[in-house]
Amino acid sequence: MKAENVKLGIAPIGWTNDDLPELGAENTFEQCVSEMALAGYEGCEVGNKYPRDVKVLKHKLDVRGIQICNAWFSTFFVDGKKEQTIKDFIEHMNFLHAMGAKVIGCSEQSRSIQGQKKAIFKEKTVFNDAEWQLLAEGYNELAKIAAEKGMKVCLHHHMGTGIQTPQEVDRYMEVTNDDVYLLFDSGHLYYSEGSQQAMLDVLEKYIDRIVHVHLKDVRDDVVAEVKANDLSFLEGVKKGTFTVPGDGVIDFKPIFEILEKHDYKGWMVVEAEQDPALANPFEYALKGRKHIRAVAGV
């Protein structure tokens, strides 16, 4: 890939997990961002231990050569919470804008089971036509608000939410305007479908509306255990469903080839949450960085 087109970041979730705060509770913010820099990353997303004061955060990141490229935002349009979602979004957007980020990665969390003790493959929610309409209206509005700041809104398709499968990604892309974008996550699509091809098909199909990429690998044996025992999303995370590129079953070469062929410009972010006590965050960050350099040449 052309190094000038892409920047490589990593999410803090490998060090401290926002969904399971007990995972990595011992890891400090300073350790996290120092190890990101040491492992060779240029940027990161935002975790629960990050200072929210822009001046303080900027200083701590600048001295390490790290910049903020995105931060998770939960939307609740299907639940009918449009007003509150937009109010919270504006505050979140202003913080990201002040930090120099260009994209805002959102996830529709209405009736999501990603944080609940429910079987991830059997109990996920499904939106009806009226709910898809609410979602579309909400995301179309967020995109207009973000555009005023020169920013782009993208949806993170995610296990346990109403937008998980390729068919649901299709529906989301159909019902929203062209200025609403997609965050492509290799791990979540592979996890959902158990198929490298299904994941690549989504990437190829929507490459022109993909503005942010999460590089996440998957361990098939853990997914099999999750399915066999009706485990929840977070139970799977603790057992090691996800890992860094090069450590699981996903072949990342065709992903990078599709991104390069279509001249993708933006961030690629390693996002591989697992238990830091079992998977040393720095060592895994380094492992992922080496694999990307070897396979993508960046």
Fold (CATH) for 6-296:
TIM Barrel (3.20.20)
Q: What is the mean pLDDT of the chain?
A: 97
Structural domain boundaries of the chain? 6-296
CA angle 235, 241, 246 (to 5 degrees): 160
Per-residue pLDDT, 256? 98
The reported pLDDT for the residue numbered 263 is 97
- pLDDT value for 187: 98
The three-class DSSP label of residue 217 is strand
pLDDT attached to residue 198: 98
Confidence of residue 90 (pLDDT cuts 50, 70, 90): very high
Contact residues for 63 (Cβ-Cβ < 8 A; gap 6+): none
Buried b (16+ CB within 10 A) or exposed e, 183-208: bbbbbbbbbbbeebeebbebbeebbe
Structure tokens at 66: 């790290």
- Give the pLDDT of residue 264: 98
Give mean pLDDT, residues 89-118: 98
How confident is the model at residue 21, as a pLDDT?
Answer: 87
Q: In what order do the strands lie in the sheet with 67-68?
A: 67-68, 43-44, 6-10, 266-270, 210-215, 181-185, 152-156, 103-108, 73-75
Find out whether 181 and 157 touch, Cβ atoms under 8 Å: no
What are the residue ranges of helices labelled H in the chain?
Answer: 29-38, 54-62, 82-98, 129-147, 166-175, 186-193, 196-206, 220-228, 233-239, 253-261, 281-296
Average pLDDT for residues 204-229, to the nearest whole number?
A: 98
At residue 140, the pLDDT reads 98
**pLDDT tens-digit profile of 54-72?**
999 999 999 999 999 999 9
Interval 177-201 mean pLDDT? 98
Contact 13, 284 (CB under 8 A): no
Assess contact for 154 and 183: CB atoms under 8 A. Answer: yes
Q: At what angle do helices 129-147 and 82-98 cross, to 10 degrees?
A: 30
pLDDT digits (tens, 9 = 90+) for 124-179: 999 999 999 999 999 999 999 999 999 999 999 999 999 999 999 999 999 999 99
Are 183 and 71 within 8 A, CB to CB? no
Q: Which residue has the tokens 């996002």?
A: 271
250 pLDDT higher than 90: yes
